[in-house]
Amino acid sequence: MASKKYVYFFGEGSKEMKKLLGGKGANLSEMTNIGLPVPPGFTITTEVCNLFYELGEKYPEGLNEQIDENLKKLEVEMGMTFGDKENPLLVSVRSGAAISMPGMMDTVLNLGLNDTTIDSLIKKTGNKRFSWDSYRRFIQMFGDVVMEVERDKFEEALQAIKSKNKVKLDTELSADNLKELVSEYKKIIKKEKGISFPQDPKEQLKMSIDAVFGSWNNKRAITYRNLHDIPHNIGTAVNVQVMVFGNMGNNSGTGVAFTRDPATGENVEYGEYLINAQGEDVVAGIRTPKPISNLKKEMPGIFNQLIDIFKKLEQHYTDTQDLEFTIQEGKLYMLQTRTGKRTAGAALKIAVDMVNEGLIDKKTAVLRVEPEQLDQLLHKQLDEKSKANAELVAKGLPASPGAALGRVVFDADDAVKESKNREVILVRTETSPEDIEGMAVAQGILTARGGMTSHAAVVARGMGKCCVAGCEDIKVFEEEQYFTASGKKVKKGDWVTLDGSTGEVFLGRIPVVDPEVTGDFEIFMDWVNEFKTIGVRANADTPKDSEIALKFRAEGIGLCRTEHMFFESDRIKAVRKMIVASNEKERRKALMALLPIQKNDFIEIFKVMKGLPVTIRLLDPPLHEFLPTEDEDIKEIAKELGLEFRELKATIVSLHEMNPMLGHRGCRLSVTYPEILEMQTKAIFEAAIELTKQGYEVKPEVMIPLVGSVKEMRILKKQIIKIADELIKKSNVRFDYKVGTMIEIPRACITADEIATEAEFFSFGTNDLTQLTFGFSRDDSGKFLPDYIEKGILDKDPFATLDEKGVGQFVKIGVEKGRKARKDIKIGICGEHGGDPDSIKFCHKIGMDYVSCSPFRVPIARLAAAQAALEEI
Ligand code: ADP
Ligand code: MG
Ligand code: MG
């Protein structure tokens, strides 16, 4: 029986087959098909990788035969043979999953070289130095990646030969030096592994394929997948490709390029290259590469051909590409293309430009920018004025924009440790995949070596994290834990500030400021609004927050937490008086003092919001949160309030609760102390009336928190309406208002039909709802949630992304029952989840009217909402 197709020759696949062939393989096939100069090769599918693990690290039947067939085809096409004395076939073995995982799995180049074929290569090329250099690179990579010999061993041998011959650069080593290095390398392998470096090319190939599939489950790869939410069961493909050589002399070279600038989005060629170098040299940061624009002078023909290819690729893929090329003796070859990673700013600019160029439509543009990515744009920049006076000590490459400040650490483990208590900046000579975890927790990354496409730069951009790379002005002493810059010594724990948009490095701390959101951002967000159907409001407690919300075009306030107004210094005293009051009369007196203050807050917020709905939540937290705990403070406050210390202390003790989050809070406070509700209602409506008289439009929505039963709702709503209507009637003005509730108790979801007979709107408080559904204390879950995620009990933190299966079902029931009982009920969400793209998609799906999130997340929520609508079509 013929076995399944496990191997595809380049050209047999297409760009649509990423899942099966991996990104690299699919695109190598595609580029072959559109006539680009791609060295031939074949791809072993990702399915083989998955089967390999399913079958207990064994290969499926028929695979070996298929590999042999394709190898034969390659040999015939090239007129070369594996291990041949005249014309030996040399290949690279490259991994490549469907989702790109930069640097996760290493490539082996020059495979097929051995003690015999090296002579043929010398004869064929007439280039001894090149041949020995290729051989030593092969043994080095093979030894490291396939045989797992410590990388440093080879590095030491290389350094030793360099010092012996008094040279600095690899390129200065002679053919004889390199030949000597080859025999040193072979000795190292024998010594470290007890077996010899394999001479048979077929054996070399088999071992390399094993290593690629094996590397799918190495620790680095697993960490990367965890960090980027990449599933562990998609597998990697293996590509076997004929070698082309960028290290054959000064008319050869290798480079990486983007069809547009991935940092700014500008439509200009972008990239770096090295003359007389092979593949990895550019990214590894061993030599500092030249900008691609330089190629125009150095090799104009190649440059023009490259620019033509850029255009062709962009037309074909309708997106910016990130590509690898190699020039072998004046001839250009394409080795990889993929969608180019970009900063948020670039993503916006490219999306807007491409619509204007007619390359894509608005819908595609809106779907192409990741909501979370906008976060980068909405984040801080250095305050220009303070920056002018700051101590600039170095300048590197602006590898990933934004500003970051923190204390310096010099290795990834330290970064992980220190970041628990403070902000850190990770400083390294250069980063490698082992540093990923440290990079993830650092505020910013600073490296001394490597270009715009070095590991540090690529990974930081992917993480949306500030990075200054290739900063040759600094010298990093990782062992001794300090770096030097401009004659200064910067030690572990010292503060530095990075500007990832300019590459500047400052000593000390520089204040950061909020970003401007105009230009492409505005155009793009207009398109977003064309597509989104669900409303986006903001959670804002102050006039300032409300202004930010409005700037980001929030369509109202979904949650205004009145208690946040109570903590300010001019009012906390009155609040405390109210809390410790021993009877209603005293309490009312204290509340009277709060009334004008609170009223004024509402006036300000209503004014800012210009007639958009404002949902105001009545007092929610347990009262003792407002009281002092230290004796010192209690004494002071007792004096202020004219109370005995003992008396106040006793009151505070009596207010203590075992489980405050499940205790006397939310609507329960209003049930016990109706005068609090009375004061807040008065403040809201007096403010609204006053503004209406002045000609403002207002839309107050009074929200009762923590309702679990319709009776709570009924009693409290009646009180609110009575006060509101009396005030409105007396003042002879007209405006609409609503009274509704926050749905955050499972019982409220289950009895939502009853509650909706009273509530005119629902706002799902999914923070508390998640806490109460899981029985996870929000404040303590940090102790165990990481274990739950690591052990796979939960996929994600349910406080960050709504748990659709459980909590989401309560929400769904609540929405359905609510709508059944009251057709025009307005339904929204105001928990943290209101700003999380996945959760927003869920809210859209179950038919909510709006989501509400923190002001800075409003654009992210708007984009997620538009995408949810577009994905439905
Ligand atoms: P990565 O995913 O880490 O970029 P690649 O498989 O793309 O790994 O290869 C690493 C480097 O080797 C790249 O610079 C690539 O262009 C180069 N390379 C891979 N295959 C070949 C080949 N057949 N000929 C020349 N260079 C190659
Ligand atoms: Mg690559
Ligand atoms: Mg709550």
DSSP letters of 232-292? TTS-EEEEEEE---S-SSTT-EEEEEESS-TTT--SS-EEEEEES--TTHHHHTSSPPEEG
- Nearest CA owner, ligand 1 atom 20: 92
Mutate to test the pocket of ligand 1, among 10, 336, 341, 459 (most ligand atoms within 8 A of CB): 336
DSSP H/E element including 40: none
Amino acid code (one letter) for 145: V
Looking at ligand 1, which atom is closest to the CA of residue 335? Answer: 16
Q: Ligand 1 — pocket residues by CB below 6 A?
A: 39, 92, 94, 103, 107, 109, 241-244, 279-280, 324, 326, 335-336
What is the block-wise mean pLDDT of the chain (873 residues), using blocks of 10 residues?
Answer: 88 96 97 98 97 94 96 95 92 92 76 96 91 94 93 93 90 93 97 96 96 88 82 94 92 95 91 88 72 96 97 97 96 96 89 97 96 79 83 89 93 92 94 85 93 78 81 93 95 95 92 78 95 96 89 95 78 87 90 94 97 97 84 85 89 89 95 96 98 97 98 98 97 96 98 98 96 89 83 88 97 98 97 92 97 90 97 83
Measured distance CA(781)–CA(775) in Å, rounded: 10
Ligand having the closest approach to the CA of 95: 1
Give this prediction's pTM: 0.78
- pLDDT at residue 462 in the model: 62
Cα 600 to middle of ligand 1, angstroms: 65
Query: CA torsion angle for 667, 669, 673, 677 (degrees, to 10)?
Result: -50
Out of 471, 667, 830, 853, which one is annotated catalytic? 830
Measured distance CA(390)–CA(405) in Å, rounded: 13
- pLDDT at residue 780 in the model: 81
DSSP 826-873: EEEE-SGGGG-HHHHHHHHHTT-SEEEE-GGGHHHHHHHHHHHHHHH-
Query: Is 664 part of the annotated catalytic residue set?
Result: no
Q: Which two tokens stand for residue 850?
A: 């709006």
Cα 93 to middle of ligand 2, angstroms: 12
Mutate to test the pocket of ligand 1, among 107, 137, 325, 455 (most ligand atoms within 8 A of CB): 107
- pLDDT at residue 808 in the model: 98
Ligand having the closest approach to the CA of 246: 1
Query: Is 455 part of the annotated catalytic residue set?
Result: yes
Distance of CA 88 to the CA centre of its chain: 45
Cα 742 to middle of ligand 3, angstroms: 8
Cα 457 to middle of ligand 2, angstroms: 15
Mutate to test the pocket of ligand 1, among 92, 140, 212, 332 (most ligand atoms within 8 A of CB): 92
Contacts (Cβ under 8 Å, ≥6 apart) of 623: 579, 655, 664, 665, 669
Cα 656 to middle of ligand 3, angstroms: 19
Measured distance CA(110)–CA(129) in Å, rounded: 15
- pLDDT at residue 117 in the model: 96
The residue to which tokens 């007439």 are assigned: 126
Ligand having the closest approach to the CA of 236: 1
Ligand having the closest approach to the CA of 141: 1
- Nearest CA owner, ligand 1 atom 23: 243
State the helix-helix crossing angle for 46-54 and 201-215, rounded to 10 degrees. Answer: 80
- Nearest CA owner, ligand 1 atom 9: 107
Cα 113 to middle of ligand 3, angstroms: 67
- Nearest CA owner, ligand 1 atom 3: 103
Question: Under a CB-based contact definition with an 8 Å cutoff, are residues 272 and 470 in contact?
Answer: no
Beta bridge partners of 498: 404, 505
Count Cβ atoms within 10 A of the Cβ of residue 57 and give its class: 0-12 exposed, 13-18 middle, 19 or more buried: exposed
Amino acid code (one letter) for 733: V
Max CA separation in the chain (angstroms) = 105
Q: CA angle 798-799-801, nearest 5°? A: 60
DSSP 307-343: HHHHHHHHHHHSS-EEEEEEEETTEEEEEEEEEPP--
Contacts (Cβ under 8 Å, ≥6 apart) of 360: 318, 319, 351, 354, 368
